[in-house]
């Protein structure tokens, strides 16, 4: 494996800052959605697409950009993705209507591919025994960027307006674009295969349709005439993809790699843990902002601060988790993370009476989730050949965010289904308003706990290994 001439830690610093920036931009939109909706005269459904458009496009193109990174060079694809992302962030800040903003957000989806490309660059840059530690740091940036984004986004929107969020992010993205151009090495292609665009279209379009179905379900129903064709067609495209891959000589991603035990475990665990991660974020934010007695009635900024302990935990714990993954192997780390995450979600059920309790629960759950995230990406990087690392990480990222997309849908459905009604008086008249009940929040956290337990079951099938030397892997 060819090593970079620059310090690997300088390269890691660049990759972590880019990842934190992209997640910051995605999270900062969330607290400002009501104001964006009002300013652009959008419906609830249209406003939801401001968030979802990024996810739909990003998940659809992640495997393709991963494969292109293997074929054409990782730095080249990294710079292309970051350039598309920067232009789209600039465009979003000047969007004249909701449809232009949604289109700009969709193009920002190319920034989704920066994370798997960055993980692959780390694999090429660091000695193998340190790869898990570096990947742990990069993975932690996802949570850190989201927390900073929600806090900073609330402040910027309040004092400067929602457009300023995108203008500031564009300035930062240009700085990171120039830094990446200077810092990153020209990693040579590791594969000389021609890209199979038929399988790419099948996988990407199938993913997009499934995400469309999940995004629209809270507004159009799960089994309506408008929705079922999206689900059925998406599933059919997935089935066609796997059938085609068994017969094609130029595959997007080799099915024999997906059938490897650790790759399969990493993808299934990534799908399930993606649900748990978003149940943590959405459950805490919604509960913190909900009016008493069913919530804490905190401001948007204070609600985001409730997640700060979980973020700090990920900053401190992620390098330690990476080290444990290298020295103990991924299996015990996955088991540990699943158990801690389960305990954390159950703490939310039994003890969330105030901001301090919520912060403690978030800390425990955050430790568990980061202990799941790090070994998953390391298992992919270690288990596949060098010419398939980037596309395999792209596929795993797509799978993880498919799981993540289920979280908002489940949370919205539960909060809509289980509601409580409270009276309030206005101008001498008595009115009733509804909000999410304690039952809704209990179910959200129960689902997070069940997802963590399911991850535990899957992790038991991991084939453990220890990275004892620079290039040596001992499996058992």
Nearest to 166 by CA among 55, 91, 82, 68: 91
Q: What is the pLDDT of residue 206?
A: 87
**Alpha carbons 300 and 34: distance in angstroms, whole number:** 12
Percent of the chain with pLDDT over 90: 24
More reliable by pLDDT, 442 or 304: 442
Residues 21-46 have a mean pLDDT of 79
Task: Assess contact for 285 and 339: CB atoms under 8 A.
Answer: no
Max mean pLDDT among 4-13, 114-123, 130-139, 169-178 falls in 169-178
More reliable by pLDDT, 113 or 425: 113
| Crossing angle for the helix pair 74-93 and 98-108, to the nearest 10 degrees | 160
Which pTM value belongs to this model?
Answer: 0.80
pLDDT tens sequence across 177-216: 999 999 988 777 766 667 777 888 888 888 888 888 887 7
Question: What are the helix and strand counts (H, E) for the chain?
Answer: 18, 4
Q: Is the pLDDT of residue 1 over 70?
A: no
pLDDT band at 162 (very low <50, low <70, confident <90, very high): confident
Nearest to 331 by CA among 381, 285, 375: 375
Q: What is the pLDDT of residue 432?
A: 47
pLDDT tens sequence across 424-469: 555 555 444 456 678 888 999 999 999 999 999 999 999 998 875 5
Q: Is the pLDDT of residue 2 over 50?
A: no
More reliable by pLDDT, 66 or 330: 330
pLDDT band at 72 (very low <50, low <70, confident <90, very high): confident
User: Which DSSP state fits 113?
Assistant: G
More reliable by pLDDT, 53 or 248: 53
pLDDT tens sequence across 263-296: 999 999 999 988 888 788 778 878 887 878 778 8
More reliable by pLDDT, 467 or 91: 91
What is the overall mean pLDDT for the chain? Answer: 82
Q: Which CATH superfamily hosts domain 8-195+252-475?
A: MFS general substrate transporter like domains (1.20.1250.20)
Q: What is the pLDDT of residue 475?
A: 57
Q: What is the pLDDT of residue 5?
A: 60
Q: What is the pairing mode between strands 465-467 and 473-475?
A: antiparallel
Dig out the tokens for 297 from the structure: 């009635």
Q: Which residue has tokens 């193998």?
A: 128
Beta bridge partner(s), residue 421: 434
Q: Please, what sign has the CA dihedral across residues 269, 275, 277, 279?
A: negative
423: three-class secondary structure by DSSP? strand
Dig out the tokens for 463 from the structure: 């084939």
Q: Where are the domains of the chain?
A: 8-195+252-475
Residues 6+ apart with CB under 8 A from 243: none
Q: What is the pLDDT of residue 91?
A: 94
Nearest to 21 by CA among 158, 127, 172, 154: 172
What's phi and psi for 298, nearest 5 deg?
-80, 160
Task: Assess contact for 341 and 368: CB atoms under 8 A.
Answer: yes
Nearest to 19 by CA among 123, 133, 119: 119
Percent of the chain with pLDDT over 70: 91
pLDDT band at 74 (very low <50, low <70, confident <90, very high): confident
**Alpha carbons 217 and 232: distance in angstroms, whole number:** 14
pLDDT tens sequence across 309-363: 777 777 778 888 888 988 899 999 999 999 999 999 999 999 888 888 988 998 8
Max mean pLDDT among 26-35, 142-151, 332-341 falls in 332-341
Q: Is the pLDDT of residue 367 over 60?
A: yes
Q: What is the pLDDT of residue 22?
A: 87
**Alpha carbons 368 and 347: distance in angstroms, whole number:** 13
For residue 105, the number of C-alpha atoms closer than 13 Å in the C-beta half-sphere is 24
Dig out the tokens for 108 from the structure: 């920002």
Dig out the tokens for 99 from the structure: 């449809």
Nearest to 173 by CA among 26, 9, 10: 26
Task: Assess contact for 21 and 172: CB atoms under 8 A.
Answer: yes
Query: Which spans in 29-73 are helix H?
Result: 33-39, 44-72
**Alpha carbons 331 and 465: distance in angstroms, whole number:** 8
Dig out the tokens for 448 from the structure: 């997070």
- The distance from CA 209 to its chain's CA centroid, rounded to whole angstroms, is 18
Number of residues assigned to the chain = 476
Q: What is the pLDDT of residue 142?
A: 75
pLDDT band at 386 (very low <50, low <70, confident <90, very high): confident
Residues 360-389 have a mean pLDDT of 87
- The distance from CA 246 to its chain's CA centroid, rounded to whole angstroms, is 29
Q: What is the pLDDT of residue 175?
A: 94
């Amino acid at each position: 494996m060819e090593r970079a001439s620059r310090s690997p830690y300088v390269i890691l610093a660049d990759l972590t800052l880019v990842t934190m920036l992209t997640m910051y931009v995605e999270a900062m939109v969330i607290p400002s959605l009501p104001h964006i909706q009002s300013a652009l005269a959008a419906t609830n459904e249209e406003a939801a697409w401001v968030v979802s458009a990024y996810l739909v496009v990003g998940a659809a193109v992640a495997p393709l950009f991963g494969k292109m990174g293997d074929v054409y060079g990782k730095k080249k694809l990294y710079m292309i993705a970051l350039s598309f992302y920067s232009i789209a962030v600039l465009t979003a800040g000047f969007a004249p209507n909701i449809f232009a903003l949604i289109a700009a957000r969709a193009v920002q989806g190319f920034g989704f591919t920066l994370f798997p490309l960055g993980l692959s660059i780390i694999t090429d840059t660091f000695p193998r025994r340190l790869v898990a530690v570096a990947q742990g740091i990069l993975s932690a940036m996802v949570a850190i960027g989201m927390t900073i984004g929600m806090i900073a986004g609330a402040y910027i929107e309040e004092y400067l307006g929602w457009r300023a969020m995108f203008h500031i992010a564009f300035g930062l993205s240009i700085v990171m674009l120039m830094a990446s151009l200077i810092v990153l090495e020209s990693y040579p292609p590791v594969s000389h295969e021609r890209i199979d665009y038929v399988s790419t279209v099948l996988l990407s379009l199938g993913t997009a349709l499934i995400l469309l179905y999940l995004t629209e379900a809270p507004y159009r129903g799960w089994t309506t005439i408008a929705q079922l064709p999206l689900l059925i067609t998406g599933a059919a495209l997935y089935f066609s993809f796997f059938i085609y891959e068994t017969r094609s000589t130029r595959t997007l991603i080799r099915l024999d790699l997906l059938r490897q035990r650790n790759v399969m475990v990493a993808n299934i665990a990534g799908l399930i843990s993606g649900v748990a991660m978003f149940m943590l974020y959405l459950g805490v934010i919604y509960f913190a902002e909900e009016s008493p007695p069913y919530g804490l009635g905190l401001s948007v900024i204070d609600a985001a601060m409730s997640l700060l302990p979980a973020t700090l935990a990920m900053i401190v714990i992620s390098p330690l988790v990476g080290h444990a993954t290298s020295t103990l192997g991924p299996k015990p780390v996955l088991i540990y993370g699943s158990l801690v995450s389960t305990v954390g979600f159950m703490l939310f059920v039994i003890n969330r009476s105030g901001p301090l309790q919520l912060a403690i629960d978030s800390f425990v759950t955050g430790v568990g989730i980061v202990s799941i995230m790090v070994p998953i990406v390391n298992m992919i990087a270690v288990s596949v050949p060098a010419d398939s690392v980037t596309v395999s990480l792209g596929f795993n990222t797509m799978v993880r965010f498919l799981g993540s997309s289920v979280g908002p849908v489940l949370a919205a459905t539960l909060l809509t289904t289980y509601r409580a009604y409270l009276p309030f008086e206005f101008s001498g008249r008595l009115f009733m308003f509804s909000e999410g009940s304690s039952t809704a929040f209990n179910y959200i956290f129960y689902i997070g706990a069940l997802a963590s337990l399911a991850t535990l079951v899957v992790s038991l099938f991991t084939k453990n290994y220890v990275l004892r030397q620079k290039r040596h892997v001992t499996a058992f």
